[in-house]
């Protein structure tokens, strides 16, 4: 026994492993221990340790009786987790393993090993604390937060996400967006995940509409970022989705109010100058069809339509007798008419729109080659929407009756647009208009009158 203790002392002190031999019968006492155990138990010497019992060393009395109970039953105890009083009288977390040895009838001994796991324990406590913190953060966030693997299967989601589907977070794990959303919607979401994984480029603040299980559509804003392992390999994505429906509805209401105000303004415009009003309405119809054909989003189409409706509103500042003058205009009169773009820009520039409304209106008489007004802008300096307005404006004007001339017809208008395509007008837009007219058998698609 003594030899074994010497070996223990030499080889394992550094491992913070304490070894001890303990007598249970006839009287409880420590028989021997290595230096590590003496130190772990908080004693300054083996002699002092020998004056103590195991029940005095193990801090919790319940733990001690449980330890003895298991030992009596199984003759051994493996990795029994408890605390013992250390040098500073502060409990130290340890694992005790022991084997019962019965040498004589009335004597019982223990061979025991104690491992100081206080460092491991405090590290795991710290990790647990961090995980608790993270979990609490995830569970209290009023946003859907979800982690997915490289195959877009959920690996972890927060409560908010799960509640949206009336499920528990753990029930979502392993599922994909196909399990919760309509097929085309899920496909888009998974395509986004895969693009983030493939390129490493996050998707930030994407606005999308999602169909909830209760059948309502929600407007949400989503951010997705790649997640990596320690070696920098992409292991999936993390996404945060915020419900913006209420906010979007509020914005919609505000926008509707603004649109109502503009409608009133337009009505006044119609009363004063029905000809220009009807022209603007037709330009709006033409521009919308072009935008639709070019695949514009709903919002972009709305902006284009609004810009078209308002594009000549600045003519309110031009005297009616000039606007309706049958003969040729003088240089001064023409200058006054040209001012309508700036007047309109001034009227609407302070209004906040989710698109560059005032700029589109301001540029509708600009031409790609710089021959337009008011700035003589060239090429890409002219907004695409303004180029659509330019083409729509020419098409509508040339096919309408004017106080100074009769309508010229669609053929003439198309000749003008095609001869100016790539010079004054955007070729793509001119080609689109040509296609639409062809499809409409050469007829005006914006008004029944032509
Ligand atoms: Fe104009
Ligand atoms: Fe116009």
Express each pLDDT in 121-144 by its tens digit. Answer: 777 788 888 878 888 888 888 899
**Cα-based distances in Å from 88 to 40, 52, 63, 92:** 10, 17, 20, 10
Q: Is the pLDDT of residue 10 over 60?
A: no
Residue pair 290/391 in contact (Cβ under 8 Å)? The answer is yes
Express each pLDDT in 344-377 by its tens digit. Answer: 998 888 877 778 889 999 999 999 999 999 999 9
Domain 141-243 has CATH 3.10.20.30: no
Rounded distance from Cα 120 to ligand 2 centre (Å): 78
Rounded distance from Cα 146 to ligand 1 centre (Å): 51
Q: What is the pLDDT of residue 448?
A: 56
pTM of whole model > 0.75? no
Express each pLDDT in 233-253 by its tens digit. Answer: 999 999 999 888 877 777 777
Say what percent of the chain tops pLDDT 70.
Answer: 95
**Which part of the chain has CATH 1.10.3210.10?**
251-439
Rounded distance from Cα 312 to ligand 1 centre (Å): 5
Measure CA 326 to chain center: 59
Show contacts of 266-271: CB within 8 Å, 24+ apart.
Answer: 266/309, 266/310, 266/313, 269/313, 269/316
Express each pLDDT in 377-390 by its tens digit. Answer: 999 999 999 999 99
Rounded distance from Cα 320 to ligand 1 centre (Å): 15
Quote the mean pLDDT of the chain: 87
**Which part of the chain has CATH 3.30.450.20?**
2-121, 141-243
Residue that has been written with the tokens 């790649």 in this structure:
226
Rounded distance from Cα 441 to ligand 2 centre (Å): 25
From 336, 324, 311, select the one nearest 392 (Cα to Cα).
311
Q: Is the pLDDT of residue 13 over 50?
A: no
Report the CATH number of the 251-439 domain.
1.10.3210.10
- Nearest ligand atom owner, CA of 361: 1
Rounded distance from Cα 387 to ligand 2 centre (Å): 12
Residue pair 342/308 in contact (Cβ under 8 Å)? The answer is no
Q: What is the pLDDT of residue 3?
A: 43
Express each pLDDT in 424-435 by its tens digit. Answer: 999 999 999 999
Q: What is the pLDDT of residue 270?
A: 82
d(CA 5, CA 20): 8
Rounded distance from Cα 203 to ligand 1 centre (Å): 39
227: β partners: 236
DSSP letter, residue 237: E
Rounded distance from Cα 311 to ligand 2 centre (Å): 6
Express each pLDDT in 64-104 by its tens digit. Answer: 999 999 998 999 999 999 998 877 777 888 999 999 987 77
Residue pair 21/33 in contact (Cβ under 8 Å)? The answer is yes
Would you state the CATH architecture of domain 2-121? 2-Layer Sandwich (3.30)
- Nearest ligand atom owner, CA of 283: 2
Q: Which residues contact 155 (CB under 8 A, 6 or more apart)?
A: 147, 148, 149, 173, 236
């Amino acid at each position: 026994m003594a030899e074994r203790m010497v070996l223990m002392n030499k080889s394992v002190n550094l491992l913070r492993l304490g070894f001890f031999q303990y007598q249970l019968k006839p009287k409880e006492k420590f028989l021997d221990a290595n230096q590590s155990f003496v130190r772990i138990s908080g004693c300054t010497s083996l002699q002092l340790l020998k004056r103590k019992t195991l029940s005095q060393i193990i801090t919790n009395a319940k733990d001690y009786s449980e330890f003895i109970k298991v030992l009596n039953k199984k003759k051994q105890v493996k990795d029994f987790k408890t605390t013992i009083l250390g040098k500073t009288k502060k409990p130290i977390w340890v694992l005790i393993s022991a084997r019962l040895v019965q040498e004589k009838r009335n004597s019982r001994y223990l061979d025991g090993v104690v491992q100081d796991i206080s460092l491991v324990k405090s590290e795991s406590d710290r990790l647990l604390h961090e995980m608790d913190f993270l979990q609490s953060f995830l569970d209290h966030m009023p946003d859907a937060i979800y982690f997915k693997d490289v195959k877009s299967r959920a690996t972890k989601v927060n409560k908010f996400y799960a509640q949206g589907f009336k499920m528990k977070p753990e029930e979502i794990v392993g599922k994909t967006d196909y399990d919760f959303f309509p097929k085309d919607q899920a496909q888009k979401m998974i395509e986004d995940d895969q693009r983030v994984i493939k390129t490493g480029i996050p998707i930030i603040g994407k606005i999308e509409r999602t169909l909830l299980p209760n059948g309502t559509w929600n407007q949400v804003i989503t951010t997705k970022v790649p997640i990596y392992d320690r070696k920098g390999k992409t292991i999936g994505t993390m996404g945060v989705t915020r419900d913006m429906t209420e906010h979007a509805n509020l914005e919609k209401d505000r926008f509707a109010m603004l649109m109502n105000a503009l409608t009133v303004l337009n009505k006044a415009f119609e009363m004063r100058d029905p000809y220009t009003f009807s022209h603007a309405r037709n330009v709006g119809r033409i521009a919308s069809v072009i935008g639709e054909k070019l695949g514009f989003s709903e919002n972009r189409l709305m902006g284009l339509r609004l810009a078209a409706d308002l594009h000549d509103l600045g003519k309110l500042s031009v005297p009616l007798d000039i606007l309706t003058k049958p003969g040729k205009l003088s240089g001064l009169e023409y200058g006054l008419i040209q001012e309508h773009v700036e007047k309109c820009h001034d009227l609407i520039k302070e209004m906040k729109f989710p698109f560059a409304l005032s700029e589109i209106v301001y540029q509708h008489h600009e031409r790609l080659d710089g021959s337009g007004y008011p700035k003589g802008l060239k090429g890409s300096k002219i907004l695409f929407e303004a180029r659509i307005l330019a083409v729509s404006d020419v098409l509508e004007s040339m096919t309408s009756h004017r106080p100074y001339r009769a309508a010229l017809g669609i053929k003439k208008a198309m000749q003008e647009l095609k001869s100016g395509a790539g010079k004054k007008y955007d070729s793509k837009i001119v080609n689109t208009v040509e296609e639409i007219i062809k499809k409409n058998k050469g007829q005006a698609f914006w008004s029944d009158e032509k």
